[in-house]
Amino acid sequence: MYTVTVRDHFMIAHSFRGEAFGPAQRLHGATYVVDLEFRRPGLDANGMVVDIGLATDVLKATLAGLNYRNLDDEPVFTGRNTTTEFLAHEIFERIVAAIGRGELGGAARGVDRIRVTLHESHVASASFTGTLS
């Protein structure tokens, strides 16, 4: 299995509902470092997993939709706890949609698995890994 990973970051504000979250029920900020990993069993005709430049651009554009936002104010997240795990899945879905629109070029057609990891600190991270059909 071949992999290519690109990295970026974004900053948000949000709060959580539920006693399990303790003080995080209050509005607070988070800065996430995001690793986006593309996996495929073989390389394309150019010897690539995916075009790294396009992958970097798509990740940056995807995160721009979240960056410097208070997620509590975003209608798409109404009623949801925007945990690190939840956001990893949300970014995964947005990247899959970008692949479907052709934004990652022809090489992305061979990608069969994507992993999105959000590092919320130097000691904690959460990931979502999914397959592409």
Q: Where are the domains of the chain?
A: 2-37+70-131
110-130 pLDDT tens trace: 999 999 999 999 999 999 999
Q: CA distances (Å), 127 to each of 19, 44, 78, 87, 107, in order?
A: 23, 26, 22, 9, 24
Three-class SS state of 45: coil
Sequence-separated contacts (24+) of 73-79 with Cβ below 8 Å: none
Q: How far apart (Å, rounded) are the C-alpha atoms in residues 129 and 54?
A: 20
Q: Are 58 and 104 in contact (CB under 8 A)?
A: yes
12-42 pLDDT tens trace: 999 999 999 999 999 999 999 999 999 999 9
Is the entire prediction scored with pTM above 0.85? yes
CATH number of 2-37+70-131: 3.30.479.10
